[in-house]
Structure 1
């Protein structure tokens, strides 16, 4: 969860900040979990970002169902909601995986924004070949969809959300993420010295 939250902040600061015209929210894993666990999502509206002018929301989805188990769950997937189109796209590297959880969060979000959302389980998402790379897949797919799809067009343009034919090199992605974290750590040490 912490790596996904870091990755979202990294994408916001390093990329989204350069696109002031974009109206995209990268919702943190803890907020996605809170949305899934709250009986009436309207009761937590003040704790969430204002979605009134947002075009797209990225939500990491986890299969943890217990509010008593911090950092619980065994699998991560990615939900990308296009508010402008009224569609929620679910990318799961180990299907069916979190399909039920993602559909549930979609219904909660629809209630929160007071707009119907159609849920689509994408069947052409890149697949992981082990049981430990789901978080890496979430991060790399999020970056690809953000940088190669959404930020490349006007907010009102139609964009293919399919990841068909895309491969994910999880080992290289993990190394890249560790390098980025280490670069920030070293930069912080330089500032403190």
Structure 2
């Protein structure tokens, strides 16, 4: 939901950007597939892409729908060859994110260096990880990547950032309600 909102409301206005927000299902498929080349046609074309955002989940069972207990964010900078992992409850999904990085590296035929960012904002309960992923993704996209030219260097650290999960939840509910009302207007 959040990725579609960011694509529609923000990324579409930046025609020069080559950033992909990969859906959670695609990240999961990438993690579970033994040979990432077998799903290449199901994934976006990464040929001219500079950055990929991937939500990471700790579900390791393809038979359990909506499984897993924790979400984190992986931001891959293809132009620099780095994969930055943001986890609000470390070490959390570090192994899963590293594994996805290796799969993506094979898929794009480029080496990627995995970096666990230890200065990510931390959640103070066991239920805010999804909110942290959404808010960190938005911050990195809007306040970092879209503010610079494609090949300019930008800090990927979130050490100076605090996350208000409660306000984030309220904002997401407001956005969902706006989409709902917009859908009702279109149908009437």
TM-score class, shorter? over 0.9
Provide the C-alpha distance between the structure 1 equivalents of 2:57 and 2:116, rounded to a whole number of angstroms: 15
Matched residue, 2:178: 183
User: Aligned runs of 1:25-174 on 2, under 5 Å?
Assistant: 25-174=20-169
| Residue number in structure 2 paired with 1:18 | 13
**Distance in 1 between residues matched to 2:12 and 2:157, nearest whole Å:** 25
Deviation, 1:188, is 1.1
Deviation at 1:53, TM superposition (A): 0.3
Between the two proteins, the alignment pairs up a number of residues equal to 188
Ranges in structure 1 where 5+ consecutive residues have no aligned partner: 1-5
| Residues 100-147 of structure 1, C-alpha deviations (whole Å, 9 max, x = no match) | 000000000000000000000000000000000000000000000000
Q: Measure the CA separation in 2 of the matches of 1:12 and 1:79.
A: 17
Q: CA deviation at 1:191?
A: 1.8
SS of match in other structure, 1:31: helix
Unaligned runs of 5+ in 2: none
Deviation at 1:11, TM superposition (A): 0.1
In 1: Cα distance, 2:186 partner to 2:52 partner: 34
Could you say what secondary structure the match of 1:154 adopts?
A: coil
Q: Tell me, what secondary structure is at the counterpart of 1:61? A: strand
Cα distance in 2 for partners of 1:55, 1:106 equals 15
- Please state whether the residue corresponding to 1:150 is helix, strand or coil: helix
Alignment partner, residue 3 of structure 1: none
1:81: Cα distance to partner? 0.1
> Aligned partners of 1:188 and 1:49: how far apart in 2?
27
Q: RMSD of the alignment, in Å?
A: 0.4
**Matched position secondary structure for 2:167:** helix
Query: 1:7 Cα shift?
Result: 0.4
Question: Aligned-pair distance for 1:192?
Answer: 1.4
